[in-house]
Homo-oligomer: A and B are copies of this chain.
Amino acid sequence: MRADDETAGAGGATRATRTTGVAETAGKDGKYGKDGAAGDAYDPRAFPPFAVTVDLAVFTVRDARLQVLLVRRGESPYRGSWALPGGFVRPDESAGAAARRELAEETGLGADTVRPLHLEQLRTYSDPGRDPRMRVVSVAYAALLPDLPEPRGGGDAAHAQWVPRDTAGPLAFDHDTILADAHDRIGAKLEYTCLATRFCPAEFTLGELQQVYETVWGVQLDRPNFRRKVLATPGFVEAVEGPPRPTGGRGKPAALHRAGPASALHPPLLRPEGRPSP
């Protein structure tokens, strides 16, 4: 598990710009919304101004590898570097809505396709020095996609691209940290939730589901035991009637399943070796 607070933010503090004296005053004793020293009249300028963005760590499993959606930056700083997709939160939407909107834009998928996808708020990155130009607070989200037929549509999203997670080189800003946190979180959630099915299409084989676990965790699992565990967990998967599906040419075709109604796994499906993060 990753250490998870950025409390020691003092390192970036000297570098940060104090934009206005007004802001400083508000932070010190105005304390908007918390105590009443300033009285009821509210001055919209009496708070420190921040930009709020969302950053997305979008994962899929393709070709037995964990892949992440990246964009190439077209402007400085970090011009030419890879970065996580993302953008501004608009004045009239929540961060979650912004994340879903950005996901649709960057993948080129339609709103209907994006709606049922799993979007999970990871954490918020707020170090004063994380963007050299100004104060930006970013709410990070992790998204899980099945390996969709339309890789990234044909719209504005032509610059977004799937990159294997382990070759995702140095990214812009603090996006390496965000990506690592996202990978950790997804791996941990596979243990005690039914999240893995979100990496799979509507109908999938147990081999494909096992592939998700093996790819995200980077381990090999025993097939009979995996099978037993999944089938013994009520509501994790449901058998689909009908003919089995051939598995990539070779071997016996496998029975199809779909995601069941359960969302949590009890007891959890712990990864081998005990340690939560590799």
CA distance A17 to B43 in the complex (A): 15
Decide if A7 touches B119 in the complex (CB within 8 Å): yes
Number of interface residues of A (CB under 8 A): 89
CA distance A39 to B100 in the complex (A): 26
A238 at the interface (CB under 8 A from B): no
Decide if A89 touches B126 in the complex (CB within 8 Å): yes
Across the interface, name the chain B residue whose C-beta is closest to A42. B133
Q: A23-B91, A32-B53, A52-B52 are in contact. List 4 more A-B contacts (CB 8 A).
A: A48-B52, A50-B50, A126-B139, A137-B137
Which residues between 69 and 110 of chain A lie within 8 Å of chain B, taking CB atoms? 71, 73-76, 79, 83, 85-97, 99-100
Interface majority SS (helix, strand, loop, mixed), chain A: loop
Across the interface, name the chain B residue whose C-beta is closest to A126. B95
Decide if A88 touches B137 in the complex (CB within 8 Å): no
CA distance A156 to B137 in the complex (A): 29
A124 at the interface (CB under 8 A from B): yes
Residues of B within 8 Å of A266, CB to CB, are 270, 274-276
Decide if B99 touches A134 in the complex (CB within 8 Å): no
CB < 8 Å neighbour of A96 from B6, B92, B99: B6
Decide if B76 touches A51 in the complex (CB within 8 Å): no
Residues of B within 8 Å of A93, CB to CB, are 9-10, 13, 128
Residues of B within 8 Å of A34, CB to CB, are 71, 73, 83, 85-87
Across the A-B interface, the 7 shortest Cβ-Cβ residue pairs:
A9-B94, A36-B74, A36-B75, A7-B96, A266-B274, A95-B126, A27-B90
12 pairs, CB–CB < 8 Å, chain A vs chain B: A1-B263, A6-B96, A6-B97, A7-B100, A9-B96, A19-B44, A28-B90, A32-B53, A49-B51, A96-B126, A192-B276, A266-B275
Which one of A10, A133, A192 has the greatest number of beta carbons of chain B within 10 Å?
Answer: A192
Which one of A44, A51, A173 has the greatest number of beta carbons of chain B within 10 Å?
Answer: A51
Mask of A109-125 contacts with B, CB within 8 angstroms, 1/0: 00000000001110110
A222 at the interface (CB under 8 A from B): no
Decide if B35 touches A128 in the complex (CB within 8 Å): no
Which one of A42, A44, A74, A124 has the greatest number of beta carbons of chain B within 10 Å?
Answer: A124
Decide if B18 touches A131 in the complex (CB within 8 Å): no
Decide if B5 touches A91 in the complex (CB within 8 Å): no
Residues of B within 8 Å of A74, CB to CB, are 35-36
